Amino acid sequence: MAANEVAPGWRLSDDPKVTIAAEDVRLRYTVNRSTGGSWWRRGSRKAVTGPVLRGVTMAAREGEMVGLVGLNGSGKSSLLRVLAGLQPATSGTVVASAQPQLLGVSAALVPELSGEENIWLGTLAMGMTPDDAYFAKERIEELAGLGDAIKQPMNTYSSGMGARLRFAISVAADPEILMIDEALSTGDASFAERSKEAMQGLIARAGTVFLVSHAAKTIEDMCTRAIWLDAGTLIADGPADEVANMYRYYAHSIALGKHDAAKKALERATAAHPPALSHT
């Protein structure tokens, strides 16, 4: 199969079906950097390439909520975009049983229109029928929790308000594979609880959810499984509470400048939960 091809879903055992899988996925970026010069005379520019993902192999099944943890620049969001088919990998293969829905990307919202109007546009853009969109409107508004602001143009919303509305629309579309990048940090405790219930409902309907978060506590509380990336390398893949705890110790060691302790934490995590296709 070609990379990012949608497959009908497959089983290798009596376990729930694999909904998405990646094999040896690699991604490199290219940036232009200055090679010299001074404040008054511009130097030449040179294209420099570097790795973002270094041979990531993983798979997820229906009914799983998979958390992605790692420091800034570890490749979490890049992996999500590759899995969703929005960023072509430099090499490797991704297959999925359905088109993944990356939160806030496929919902074609218009900033100049109200939240109400964007609910209509977003649900239709994701394939809902007009009748389904009509009946989904009330629960979208309730989940987003924007109150009277739902009647105001989206370009008057804060970034958090916009993220909450996009999340509510995405969940209402009931995708088989939902990918969320840091959206749940943009709300109060009440929204966090509502969003958790919405995702648990999606998983109960045999969906698969990926959640990227810098907060190990969020991954520990909400996910069944966690994948830890560091500098584009898959460090550990295992139960969410165990992987989140190991990552928390590593991040704390980095913050304190204890680099030897951080290095040992990486080694222990890899040994405890080696990245492999054990979930396929």
pLDDT confidence bin for 244, thresholds 50/70/90: very high
Tokens of 131: 């009748």
The structural domains of the chain, with segments of one domain joined by +, span 108-173
Task: Give the DSSP H/E element, type plus range, for residue 57.
Answer: strand 45-61
Tokens of 81: 């975009």
Q: Note the pLDDT of residue 101.
A: 81
- Tens-digit pLDDT profile for residues 149-167: 999 999 999 888 888 888 8
SS3 for 197-253 is HHHHHHHHCCCEEEEECCCHHHHHHHCCEEEEEECCEEEEEEEHHHHHHHHHHHHHH
Q: Quick one: average pLDDT of 229-248?
A: 94
Q: Quick one: average pLDDT of 227-254?
A: 94
Q: Note the pLDDT of residue 173.
A: 73
At residue 90, does pLDDT exceed 80? yes
Tokens of 76: 């979490």
Q: Note the pLDDT of residue 181.
A: 77
Interatomic CA distance for residues 244 and 27, integer angstroms = 25
Backbone angles phi and psi of 42, in degrees to 5: -70, 135
Tokens of 65: 């909520």
At residue 202, does pLDDT exceed 80? no
* 3-state secondary structure (DSSP) of residue 268: helix
- What pTM was estimated for this model as a whole? 0.74
DSSP labels for 155-192? GGS-HHHHHHHHHHHHHHT--SEEEEESGGGSS-HHHH
